[in-house]
Chains A and B, each alone.
Chain A
Amino acid sequence: MSATGMSDASVLDSGLADSGLPGAGLLGVALELNPQVALRPEPFGALAYHYGNRRLVFLKHLDMVTVAKNLSLHPTLAATLQACDIAPSRWPSFATAFQSLLSSEIVRER
C-alpha cells in the first residue's frame, strides 16, 4: 500500500480496496482536501501532492477524484458520495480509501 517512491517522494497508492476493511466510521465525518495539496489530472484519475509532507498519492479512479474535490461542499463523506452519484454498494471501499488519504494528510477533518 505504501512505498518510498521514485526519487524520494513518499508514494502512496490510494486505490479502491475491497470493501469490509476499516474506515466505514469515516462516512459520517466532515472532510476536506488539505489546502497544501494539489491535484494533477491523469488518465487513470489524479496525482495528489502534499507540499508540506512531500507525499505523492495516486488517486486511481476518476470517481475518487470527483469525490475528493467535492468533499468540502457537503456535510459528510456519505453526503458527498451521494451527491456524486456513487452507488451505496461502493461506499465502504471509498471509506477505506479516504481513511488512507486521511492518514497521509491528503484530506483532513474540518
Chain B
Amino acid sequence: MSVESLVQQLKGGLDAPICLTWELTYACNLQCVHCLSSSGQRDPRELTTAEAKAVLDELHDLQVFYINVGGGEPMVRRDFFELLEYSIGKGIGVKFSTNGAFIDAEKAQRLAAMDYLDIQISLDGTDAITNDAVRGPGSYALARRAMDNLATANFGPFKISVVVTRHNVDQLDEFKALADSYGAQLRITRLRPSGRGADSWHDLHPTNAQQRQIYNWLMAHGDNVLTGDSFFHLNALGDPLPGLNMCGAGRVVCLIDPIGDVYACPFVIHDEFKAGSVRDDGGFSKVWKQSPLFVELREPQSAGACTSCGSYDACQGGCMAAKFFTGLPLDGPDPECVSGHGEALLQGVNIGLNPKPAMDHSKPVPVALGAARRLSVVS
C-alpha cells in the first residue's frame, strides 16, 4: 500500500481521532502576539476537574492513544498534574505545550519521573530580542530556564517548538543547534492567522522567498525535525516533504477547547468550525462520529479555483484555517500559495471584513492611570 492510498483512507475519517488537541485553559501568563486561541484570561465556563476526567474516560474508551495538551498555559490549571496523571494512568499518553514559566527544578523532577509524557517548550527566537518581540518580555529567559531544568532533571529528549515567522526564519540552523545542545528534538510549525494571529499575521508570516527557504531547509533536515505536517502547502515547490500530505481537520485531528467545545482543528476557533461540545448528550464520541460538520469534512473536497492548477495534487490547496481567517474562499488557493495565487487574491479582500475569532480571552489593555481617573469621574 502506498502513502497515497493511506491518505485516501484517512480523508474519509477514522473511528476516533489519531491526534487530539485539548486546550485546558484560556489563562496564560504570556500574551503572545500570534496566539492561536487569543488566550490570556481564564474563562469561567472552563471544564471542571470532574468533567475533564469524564472526557479522559471517554477518550480511553475510544482508544485515543495520546493527546496534545495546550492552552493558554496548561500548567496554570491547579489540577494540571492531577489530570496529567489521570490521563497517563488511563493509557492516554500526553504531549503538552508550555512556555516553561512553571517548570522549576522541582516540577522538572516530577515530570521526569513520568512515563508516556512529552513536553514541548515554545520558543520563537534563538535570542531574547527575536523571541520576546513575539512572546513578550522575559519569555526567552523563562523558556531557557525550563529547558535547563528539564536537562538537569534528565527528562530526556523534550521538544523545542518554533512557529516560523519572517523574523526567525534565518535562525533555523541555530534552533537546530540549540535543540542538539540539549539532546532535544526541534519542531517547527507554520504560523496561522488564527486568534491574535489574525492581527499579526500580515507582519509576521514568511515572505514568498522565505517559503522556499523553509522548504529547502526541510528537504535538507526534515527527517530529524518534527513539523506536525503543517507545511504541506510548500509541496508545490517540488518533491513532497516527509509526512502526510493532507489537512487532517475533522478527519484525523480535532480540538477540544477549555470550555469543552469541539472544533475541527486547533486553528479554527470559530462558530463555522464548531462541531459541538463534550457537554452535549452523547459526549465527545457523538460529536466526533456524527456532527454534520465533521461528516462534511470527510467528504471529497472541491479544488474550486485551484482545479486548473497543476500543483493542486501536491499542495491540496493548503490550509483551511489560513484561508478562512484571511478572508479567502475555502475552495481556492492558500494565502501563502507558493505560486502567488493567494497573494493576488488577498489584495481583493477588504481589510476588516475577514472573519474574526469566536472568542477573545486576551487580557485587557492596561489603561493609563490618568485615563482611568478621568473615566471614573465621568461615571
Q: Are A6 and B253 in contact (CB under 8 A)?
A: yes
Tell whether B237 is near chain A: CB-to-CB under 8 Å. Answer: no
CB < 8 Å A-B pair total: 86
Tell whether A17 is near chain B: CB-to-CB under 8 Å. Answer: yes
Q: Are A13 and B6 in contact (CB under 8 A)?
A: yes
Tell whether B321 is near chain A: CB-to-CB under 8 Å. Answer: no
Tell whether A77 is near chain B: CB-to-CB under 8 Å. Answer: no
Known: A6-B229, A16-B1. A51 touches B116 (CB 8 A): yes
Chain B residues near A102 (CB-CB < 8 A): none
Tell whether B285 is near chain A: CB-to-CB under 8 Å. Answer: no
Q: Give B260-288 as 1s and 0s: 1 = Cβ < 8 Å from A's Cβ atoms.
A: 00000000000000000000000000000
In this complex, what residue of A is CB-closest to B241? A4
Q: Are A6 and B18 in contact (CB under 8 A)?
A: yes
Chain A residues near B68 (CB-CB < 8 A): 7
CA distance A51 to B243 in the complex (A): 20
Tell whether A43 is near chain B: CB-to-CB under 8 Å. Answer: yes
Which residues from 153 to 200 on chain B have a C-beta closer than 8 Å to any C-beta of chain A?
187
Q: Are B14 and A5 in contact (CB under 8 A)?
A: no
Chain B residues near A13 (CB-CB < 8 A): 1-3, 6
Q: Are B16 and A40 in contact (CB under 8 A)?
A: yes
Known: A15-B1, A44-B9, A60-B1. A3 touches B14 (CB 8 A): no
Query: Which A residues are closer than 8 A to B by beta carbons?
Result: 1, 3-9, 11, 13-17, 38, 40-44, 47, 49, 51, 54, 56, 58, 60
Q: A14-B1, A38-B65, A47-B65 are in contact. List 10 more A-B contacts (CB 8 A).
A: A5-B243, A6-B19, A7-B228, A8-B227, A9-B18, A11-B244, A40-B16, A47-B14, A56-B65, A60-B1
